[in-house]
Structure 1
């Protein structure tokens, strides 16, 4: 497994408050990683920095085989380099079918005629079928996205990210608002994606994190407090004190 993303000495302040404080982090490819921590630990800012939404005050972020610096790159350029983000609230095109949502997201030439022509190609159609199978929506391809359950909309959005062919996926609180059956299926989906992508899952639900059965990074006050298996971090006295509160 090679390192895909490496952050070192990253700090960012907002109005004198240090949201991220000398943070160092790395993830390999493929790898599934969970990020946990109390409210205000810097989890959202961490994702904002990776995707270029927030520029750090100091530190470096290297990405990819050639170790390109993400600092100074625009959000759209970072997305084109293969970093995709799934926000907590799903944003799908409700009036369009599942198939159309996936077609619009496919990584392809972006001119208006290119998009119209590409959707009809055999390769595009095959890719849509492949993604739908992976996110468990093969049976729902013709349904309007607005008719899907909350969990299915989350899966569709993960599928739309996959259509962009990312190498690194950032997924924010995927288990929130799901039924137990949907949560179980989401766990399986993320574990599957972690076999051929780098996937960072930010999550509050410890039971969900436990079922992911992956390395866990605990953030607190903008720094890494602990890292290791779920049993290792939940047994750490500092983690218990600041986060688990037992």
Structure 2
């Protein structure tokens, strides 16, 4: 993939189609209902922020989408064919194009930035190809393009463990991009970042949302405001409010259960 392939799409905006839909989803743990009749949908491409107090169900929501947790009831459908994610394993869901970035970066710290991206590439290569650096011309080109996209092109030879916290976050996003995702679930990307890193992360997520569906779970309201996207507020496992940030933060119930705390 070339730099041009990773550049924002300048073609006329196509009609946004629903990519992921949760309908009537509920799940309980030891009698506690973590998700309660949750309905949610996101199109492709689209950027969405998900906010809410601790215990609102944000992590469980992502666990359900990625197959880590199976709901007690409800539907989770994916793609143009509306296939059920509930019948798929976690690895199959990842292959379908759903990538998740956790709050704490999970990169291979002893390997270089380039090696991290090479190991993540979605390509028919064996483990020895990766260990011996046999990515091929197209693979090398794609690694360079992804590194440029995430802002680490000049850091490809560096050991990942030497990167700053923010740079590790970008590398993990790059590793997700190497898997050709259609949906990215990004958990609290702004946590622990410098102001400059937060600005870069905002720009990166907004660019990615021109080609992908991106869900950002975040507590930082200023960061959410910079994203300038639709916001979904979760509370007690259900959608409490949805709309622009100004719209949801003016909602009396949102103020009572989240902003007022």
Length-normalised TM-score, structure 1: 0.97
**1:74-85 → structure 2 map (5 Å cutoff):** 74-85=89-100
**1:52-67 → structure 2 map (5 Å cutoff):** 52-67=67-82
Q: Match of 2:63?
A: 48
**1:97-176 → structure 2 map (5 Å cutoff):** 97-113=112-128, 115=130, 119-176=134-191
Distance 1:192 1:18 in 2: 36
Deviations along 1:127-149, one digit per CA (max 9) or x if unpaired, are 00110011000110111101100
Distance 1:116 1:92 in 2: 16
Contact conserved, 1:103 with 1:119, CA < 8 A, in 2?
no
Distance 1:126 1:120 in 2: 9
For structure 1, which runs of at least 5 residues remain unmatched after alignment? none
Q: Is residue 2:237 matched to residue 1:227?
A: no
Distance 2:148 2:167 in 1: 13
1:110, distance to aligned residue in structure 2 (A): 4.8
1:112, distance to aligned residue in structure 2 (A): 3.4
Spell out structure 1 runs of 4+ moving beyond 6 A.
none
Instruction: Determine which of 86, 94, 102 is the counterpart of 2:101.
Output: 86
Distance 1:225 1:168 in 2: 23
Contact conserved, 2:118 with 2:135, CA < 8 A, in 1?
no
Distance 2:54 2:82 in 1: 31
Q: Match of 1:13?
A: 28
Secondary structure at the aligned position of 1:7 is classed as strand
Contact conserved, 1:119 with 1:125, CA < 8 A, in 2?
no
1:91, distance to aligned residue in structure 2 (A): 1.1
Secondary structure at the aligned position of 2:103 is classed as coil
Secondary structure at the aligned position of 2:241 is classed as strand
Q: Is residue 2:75 matched to residue 1:33?
A: no
CA RMSD of aligned residues (A): 1.3
Secondary structure at the aligned position of 1:38 is classed as coil
The alignment covers a number of residue pairs equal to: 246
1:65, distance to aligned residue in structure 2 (A): 1.3
Contact conserved, 1:108 with 1:115, CA < 8 A, in 2?
no
Q: Is residue 2:254 matched to residue 1:239?
A: yes
Structure 1, 115-124 or 221-230: larger mean CA deviation: 115-124
Q: Is residue 2:213 matched to residue 1:181?
A: no
Distance 2:130 2:207 in 1: 29
Contact conserved, 1:109 with 1:115, CA < 8 A, in 2?
no
1:72, distance to aligned residue in structure 2 (A): 2.3
Contact conserved, 1:108 with 1:118, CA < 8 A, in 2?
no
Q: Match of 1:203?
A: 218
Deviations along 1:28-51, one digit per CA (max 9) or x if unpaired, are 000000000000000000000000
1:117, distance to aligned residue in structure 2 (A): 7.8
